[in-house]
Amino acid sequence: MTTAQQERLNYLELLNEIAPGERRAGVFLKGWADKTQDPELKAVLTLVARRETSHYHIFKRRIEELGYTVEEQEDPSFHERLLVNCSDMPDVEKIRYGQARQQQRQGPSRADRIHAAIADEIVDPLTRSLLTWFSDVEADSGALLRQVYARIEAEASKEE
């Protein structure tokens, strides 16, 4: 296998990680949106869940345009996250649960790997453009979530 073929496989691996991950995120965020009683959180979760689901379809299509198929990867924590997000647990506890999960991640972040792929000229221009757009949308979604999470955390701190 040539170096170029290995690089191509590496970025297809990234695309194959993104697509099903976005589909799963859309499912568990919608589950939370359906449970919360907080109108602002519900609106943000619904928006982000729709974005995540859309990302799955966009990345699936791009992978197929490149001549491949999406390889679903098992996520052993998906059912746990779905149970938490669809539970009657208070929103602030769901937020803290998600933040704790984020802190446990090891190795380069997905965002770091996306930025590396964007800078890598072996990745075709259309895929680099898609990754740039995706990175921007993910940053916006993250900012929206962090803003509403901060309000909920502040309200919970007043009650404690």
pTM confidence score: 0.90
Complete domains list, the chain, with CATH: 3-159 (1.20.1260)
What average pLDDT does range 119-130 have in this prediction? 94
What average pLDDT does range 45-53 have in this prediction? 98
Q: What percent of the chain clears pLDDT 90, i.e. is strictly above it?
A: 79
- Is the pLDDT at 57 greater than 60? The verdict is yes
Other CB atoms within 10 Å distance of the CB of residue 110: 15
How does the average pLDDT of the chain come out, rounded?
92
